[in-house]
Every structure is written in C-alpha cells, then in structure tokens.
Structure 1
C-alpha cells in the first residue's frame, strides 16, 4: 500500500464524527461497513473485533493488524464500561491516540458492542444515549435486544435504528440468551432481518447463539458451523453478514471453518486478550490455565510478577475469581501504566503475537487493508451505503402484525448469560 493511497483514503474515508473529534489525526478510523465488506470481498475471511478492556490490548491488537496488513475492529461492550477504564465514550480517543503514536495506517472501525436493551423500559434510554457515543467517535454499534422476545427485539431495533448514522456499521442480534435447546434458528433470524428491511434498515451483521461458549454454553458441541452457514444462506437477500461472539476458547480448526464456510466477517475476542496481556498461561485456544484455585502466570512475562501477586491478593480479598478477573482492569490499569517501559511493552507484545496468529493463520484476514482502501476510494466517501435495498412490504410489518408473526415462531428463551464478549 503506497503512502499516496493511504493519504487519499484518509482524506475521504473518515466519517464526520471522527473528523470533528480528531481533526488533525493521521488515523484511518472508518465505518464498520468498510471492515465487513473488505472481508466479504476477500472471501472466507473474518477479522478480529478485539475488546479493548485496557490500553495494552488496544495497542497489541493494532500492531498485529498493521503487521498483518489487515483491517480490524476495536470494540468495547456497554457493560464493560462498569469494570474497565475503556468506555463507549473514550475508546475512539484511545484508538486514535495509539494509531497516531504507533504510525498505524490500516483501517480501524471503533465498535460499541452489546449495547444491550434488556427490557422495553430500556428503549427510551437507548434512543437518547446512542447519539452520544457517536458524538464521541464511535463508528459502529451492536444493538442487543435479544434478551427480549422476538417481537420486542425487532420493535426495539426499529425504534433505535434511526439514531444510528446511516453511514455507520450496524449489528443486530438474535438468540443470545437461548437455553440448552434454544439455538438460534433461520426462521428467527429471517424474521428480524425481514422486519428491518421492510422499514429500510439493513444491518451489516447479525450475532447468533450458534453454540458459542460465550455466556451460557448452549451446546457442548461448541460453535455449530452448519447451523451458522444455513442461517447466513437464508439471510443472503438482506445483505447481512455474521458476527461470531464468544470466540475466545474455541479451537483454531473450528474458527477456520467459521471463516471459510459461513458469511462471518467479525469475530469477537475479549477474555483471551486480557489474560495473555497479563502473562497468564493459556492453551492454544486462549483458555487460561489454572494452578490450584488461581490462574497460572508465566514468570517474567506480562505484568510485573510482584504486581500480579497484588492483583491476585486484591481478587481474593474481594471475592473475585474466574471470569470476574475482568473486574481488575479498572482497578489496576493505572498501576500497569506505571510499570517500566519494558514491562509495558511486553504486555502489548503478548497481545500482538496472539492476535497476529489469529489474523493470519486462523481468520484469513491478512492483506484486507488494501481491499478496504479500494472500497473507500471507489465510493469516494466514508459512506458505502446499504448492502441491500428495501424490498419487503412495510404494510406487512406493522406492530400488530409483527406481534402476531412472532407468536407463531417456536422459540425458547433460556437463562441469561454474560453478554460482554
């Protein structure tokens, strides 16, 4: 990629909220649409959506993508802001700062993940609050109303979607809280995308419960590739790609199948990056390894060993264990940044190595940055438009008819899971 191409893409590819927030920046922050379509254009490729719970994860992921010449997504979930220093309102600023500091030139989308709406009472709050995250530089968002019944999920999306800029990446979700026998179905997914299309909304991604180990493990078999492919095939007319949640802990062979055999272009990874940055021992899938009742740490890597001991002691004193170690991010990031440059560097380097391997050897995302540049330059704009035009009849998708159709869908909303990853 020539410097001239980068400059041209930089001139037209940054959305207006990015330009307003970072007027002198040399960071190519782009719509999530650009990232999705770059993966689709390459074919059989998905990129990481790295949950930037702390600044070392963001740095490592950006450096890995630069090395792989891959377009990438940096994200944070709405709930993560309660226990992480990275929030929906500062993540774009953190990404922009690091891109400029490190000379990052690959395209990066900044994604607000799992903007959850757990009940109808949350719709008004979402409608009021979502514009503020775009005001802060976000370029993509996931509306997660899947905690509700299928009719309310669709109706909530219809109320909230107008608050999302038309140029921005838009993810929707179906089936996140299914129980053991409640994997997402093609019927439910099509219902959601049909209703959105009827009202002229085209989500770029849909997240499914497809057997992921994220949150409630819906199936001991892990991610269901065939089911995912079937749902994606059903959704082809609607132009909606797949977003794979709960990628941490899945074996590489299964993830390669997801990339190669489905329309998935976005794969969320959170827990593995956090653990690897700290220097926790992990297996080849990114699962943390235990040493008795605590996580095993590799001496001399990740955070300073003495500081790790403080983290463990704090966790023990506060009843924090297992997945709840994520709550240490907010408490300890200041301490991590106060370490020597060499230790800070090795934390980011740990993340870089893991993400680079995923991008190149598992996700097939290498060399997607030039494709993204071409898409921006061909459009001559930061706005690539929708992948599918409206073709469903809005008269058939009134609130009354939506509720009647949803009542006929055989669905099982199961126990709630953990919606961060």
Structure 2
C-alpha cells in the first residue's frame, strides 16, 4: 500500500463527448507496454454495467510461463476498504451499529477509544497509528497472525493525534472495522464478505485471500514489470478488511457499478459514503480526469497495485490491477481513459536502461539515513540489480539511468549516489534529501 500516486491529476477543462471506443489504439498501447516489459496486469472497462474492453498483459506466474488472462485473480490491497465500508453501511441500515458508536464498545484498550467513533475509523480520522508504518512491520508481515497478536501490535503504535483533528491514512482503523464486523455478525470476515456482497452480486472471483496458488489462476507478484524477481507475500491474516481481498478487474467493475446503482446500500447510505472530507469519504475518494470526476479507491500490497474508479455521469467503471510494474499504474489509467474518451494521447517512448557493470554495484550498498529524513534506506544487490528498501516498506528494484543515478519510476523516485562521499541524494515529488551511509 505504498507507492500508489493519487490518480489522474489533469488540469485542463475540456468538453468530453461520448466517443466510439478505439480498441485498436488501446491494444497497440498495451502491446507497447508489454513488449518493453514495463507492466504486467489486467484492465477492464464497463459501460452501463457491461464490459466493453478487457486486456491482460504479462504473466500470472513467470516461472511456470502462465500468461495473465481475464480470469486471473489479483490481490487488490486497499480497494478492500470499499468492501469493508459497504458492510459497515449495511450494518448501520440494519441498526446493528451507528456512526457515532465508540471504539470503546468493542476495543476499549486503545488510546482515546471512548472518543474514536466508527465514522472516524471510516474516514481515517481516528488518530490511531498506522501499524503498517512500523519499522518492524516487514519482519513479521509474511507470518500468520491471530487476532490477539495483531491487536497487540496495533496497540503498541499508540495515537498520533486526537480523533477528528485531521486525516491520516491508517490501515489500523480498517482492520478494527473488520474486527467489529466479525464481532457483530459472529462470523469470519471472509464469510461475511461472501454472504453480503459476493454471492448476491455473483462475484465468483472475489474472496478473502490466502496463500497464493497460481494453479488456481491467482497471480503471483513481482518487483518489476519483467517479473525478474518475486515480491514478498504478505500473510492475509494481517490486512483483514484493510487489504486482504482477491478479485479480478471485471468483478471490481461489477462491484462498483452495483454500489453506485443502489444494489448494495441505500441512496442515503451512498450519499454518506461519497461525502468527502479532505478528499476521503467512507472507503472512497474522488479523482479528476479533465472536467470529469470518478469515485473509487486504489491499493497496493507486495508487488500488486490496483485502481478502480466509477464515473457516475457516464455509467463508466474502469479498473486496472498490476502484479509487477516498472512504470506507474497512474500512467496506465491515464492512457486508457484518454484513449476511451478520444483525447490526444502520445504513446510513451521507453528508453533502454543505462548499462551498469554488476561488479560496480557494491559501492552503493549500505544503510543511508539523515536527521532530516524520517526513514532509513537500505540499499542491497540482488543478482545484477540494485534494490532499495525504506523502513517498514517493501523492497523495490532501482533502474540505472546514468552514472551513479538510479530511479524507481513507479514512485517517481530518483537516487543520486556519491560513492566518494558515501552519500546519496533522494529526490521525490519536488523534494530533495541528502542521506549519508551509516
């Protein structure tokens, strides 16, 4: 859930009329991305509840040479939060819960539990520390956790601010929401998901995930778009309702279409869910595309990244999920929507990577830190590649672009090393930080 850039920030305001779908151009775009090994994944576009375009590129399992297809199932990360929010709204409609219900009614040991409400949890305004930001998170995220052990880890993080003071993304809040759902229903979250959402909507490829099995058409995830190395595999006992769901882009489009056409919650509940505060509702946020706005969510877990959006004015749902990326998911979505709406779009020119002798990578290896930067960056070598890992985050490949300069394009991150000074300048989002090797 780390490197997803908020989607599609385009400032132009233009008239966008309905266009005939240029499938040939879409196919040519995805051919280009696949040929250059920039991304692996699947796209689905729905119009009026019907699929009008689907394309899969790359592999679900590189080692077994299994190509991705329309039925390939991916971990969807934080898009799971929308499902969790829907179940919460259903419980509210059944008067089993209230938005002002206090966390203390279920989990009184948390700091400020008597002031934190269900609405605070839904809107990421609880003030609870996000447990996936813990420096120790990567040391245990691949191990099965029972409820007691995970509660203990979340409690240890404490509180970052008073409830309602501001927004701060917190997976802790959505894990607690899924626990509260289980406490009310007296069932596991996966069973509740099935009975309340996937069975009624006939979403046969959407369920609570487990150990990935590529022989069941479940995609493995990778550190880059070529599938050169497997990513970590988080045990799905960890993210719960914050990120444990598996699905296909087609199923996700069915889900969002159903949500916005009154098949899951009432009109008043949907209005509550889509009322934005600091650009976040209940398991939903908005993003612009030219003068249009979509409502949806994105996600990231291990090597997976995902984005779903629903354009209500056009009855259009679009989802892309990747299991290996060397090029930002945001770029894929912008391209697909630009082509769909008939906007001018120039195909990217992918440049050949700068060649670096693997024997020369050792001089970059080390742990880099700075008093002005909140995380330590550990740089390692894996085969012929350089890798980096920030405290509490997953490792990622660094692509050489010039002498001593590497990038992680998916996050818009550049690292410029100075081996003589044992230092590195990290650039991202317009900011620059100088870190020194410890």
Normalising by the residue count of structure 2, what TM-score does the alignment of the two structures yield? 0.26
Higher helix proportion (structure 1 or 2): 1
Normalising by the residue count of structure 1, what TM-score does the alignment of the two structures yield? 0.27
Higher strand proportion (structure 1 or 2): 2
